[in-house]
Amino acid sequence: MQYKETIEYLFTSSPLFQNVGGDAYKEGLYNTHRLDEHFGHPHRKFKTIHVAGTNGKGSCSHTLAAILQSTGLKVGLFTSPHLVDFRERIRVNGEMVSEQYVVDFVEQHRSFFEPLHPSFFELTTAMAFKYFAEQEVDVAVVEVGLGGRLDCTNIISPEVCVITNISFDHVMFLGNTLAKIAGEKAGIIKRGVPVVVGETVPETRPVFLQKAEEMQAPIHLAEEENEIIEFQFNKKGHIDYQTKTYGKIEGELGGYCQTRNTNTILCSVNQLRAQGFHITDADVRQGFAHVCELTGLMGRWQTLRTEPTVVCDTGHNLGGFQWITRQLNEVQAPLRIVFGMVNDKDISGVLSLMPKNATYYFCQASVKRALPHEEIRQKAATFGLSGNSYPTVREAYETALSEAQEEDFIYVGGSSFVVADLLTDYPEYTTPKP
């Protein structure tokens, strides 16, 4: 098979969450352990950092990887979902796994894994761990796929566990209360392994404290060990931080939510240093300032063009939009919003937060879980949001672009898959801007 055929095979032969949602979720780690045993337990051959949470996992994982790369280590990075190319999920020092490796993995091992009927994510995780072992990485930053306790990444024994925050998402799998969701995320806490928790609320804090005590794991609450003294946005749209331990840091990622993520990351670096990682202040500054270049990160309040300004963001749930809408409400220019969502999110909650002084272009991403564009438009109208609907992201975006003046601001988001369609249709946008 060629690469394109191999990817189609992976997407169609194993359930893919972005397409079918709950049908792709396999509770339990039976398949994961079988795959891990078949490949000779590759995750035992390198150190790991495990990152869970509702929002901010991707930004934290990529920035930690960038910092570790800056130290000279060979760093694996496993994240999800991808935006344009499947290979974004598996990187070593920012370089995606090769097309040939993906082809060879499937061809050489399908006779073993086909009878197991693994999910797409189970198979992808096994591929990532095998690749990292063969590449002889020093350390891999591993982002949880869904939850934590029963996530197939949870076979690793990390140096540090990181849990960014808890809000409502994937409630059909993780529970319908913040405490239940926190319990699933806390499942990554390992005996004796330091855990950094970025943000807590009254419902989640005791869950983390209890689990950490049970596992005799030192717990560090980033909001209490606050590393950030002050911050301000600079002319480049980046964030300048003054920190307790690391001095002045320029953060390339300019979303409002990044101030919380940055605090979580810095507290995690403190623990990595305590675990013996040689990370200098200069390494931290390098990682924060060049995370997109070092890791290939895309879609985090990413400026795609100017005149008019176009920004995309992969935030896709209520917790994420509490930050995004604050930032949109401070935009001084005329605002145009290209917006779509998928069917397992709290669309009413998100729409209730969206700016009313914007022109909307409701759209439908090219995944089966995407909400129909007209349904979104009708629901948005009940919240006082007006605009037209379009069957594709491309049509919505091109209409917004054609109607915009040079001074306007166009935001594209609502779902990772809306951003994915945009970046796929416009490959000139896929190189992160410095």
Are 324 and 241 part of one and the same domain?
no
* Residue 167 and residue 26 share a domain: yes
In this structure, are 136 and 209 located in the same domain?
yes
Strands 95-96 and 90-92: antiparallel
Q: Which residues contact 220 (CB under 8 A, 6 or more apart)?
A: 194, 195, 196, 197, 267, 270, 271
My answer on whether 310 and 271 are in the same domain is: no
CB 423 within 8 A of CB 394: no
371 DSSP 8-state letter = P
DSSP secondary-structure letter at 40? Answer: T
CATH number at residue 353: 3.90.190.20
Mapping DSSP to helix (H, G, I), strand (E, B) and coil, where does residue 364 land?
Answer: coil
Domain extent for 362: 302-429
Helix H segments across 248-392? Answer: 258-274, 281-289, 291-295, 318-329, 347-353, 373-381
Q: Considering the domain boundaries, does residue 205 fall inside one?
A: yes
Instruction: Answer yes or no: do 199 and 54 share one domain.
Output: yes
- DSSP per residue, 327-338: HHHT--S-EEEE
Q: Give the total number of structural domains in the chain.
A: 2
How confident is the model at residue 148, as a pLDDT?
86
Residues 125 and 157 placed together within one structural domain of the fold: yes
Q: Are strands 47-52 and 247-251 parallel, antiparallel or unpaired?
A: unpaired
Q: What does the pLDDT look like over 119-158, one tens digit per residue?
A: 899 999 999 999 999 999 999 999 999 878 889 999 999 9
Instruction: Say yes or no: 128 and 191 in one domain.
Output: yes
pTM of the predicted model as reported, rounded to 2 decimal places: 0.93
- pLDDT tens, position by position, 272-327: 999 999 999 999 999 999 999 999 999 999 999 999 999 999 998 888 899 999 99
| Same domain assignment for residues 375 and 288 | no
Query: Which one of 295, 318, 338 terminates a domain?
Result: 295
Cα distances (Å, whole numbers) of residue 162 to 186, 271, 310, 320, 372: 10, 10, 32, 18, 36
Q: Domain ends where: 295, 321, 352?
A: 295
Residue with tokens 């930053």: 141
Q: Confirm whether 434 is domain-assigned.
A: no
What average pLDDT does the structure give for the chain? 93
Whether residue 259 contacts residue 239, with contact meaning beta carbons closer than 8 Å, is answered with yes
Please, what is the Cα angle at 341 between 298 and 118, to 5 degrees? 75
Question: In the listed set 295, 320, 348, which residue is the last one of a domain according to the structure?
Answer: 295
pLDDT tens digits, 366-402:
998 899 999 999 999 999 999 999 999 999 999 999 9
Considering the domain architecture, whether residues 271 and 375 belong to the same structural domain is answered as: no
Residue 14 above 90 pLDDT? no
The reported pLDDT for the residue numbered 12 is 85
Distance CA(328)–CA(343), nearest Å, equals: 23
| Burial class (CB within 10 angstroms; exposed 0-12, middle 13-18, buried 19+) of 251 | buried
Please check whether residues 117 and 166 belong to one and the same domain.
yes
Strand residues in 22-61 grouped as ranges (E): 47-52
At which residue do the structure tokens 């040079």 appear? 406
- Which residues is 49 bridged to in the sheet? 141, 160
- Are 204 and 84 part of one and the same domain? yes
Q: Kindly state the percentage of the chain with pLDDT values over 90.
A: 85
253 with 276: CB under 8 angstroms? Answer: no
Q: How many CB atoms lie within 10 A of CB 232?
A: 8
Please indicate, yes or no, if residue 168 is contained in any of the structural domains: yes
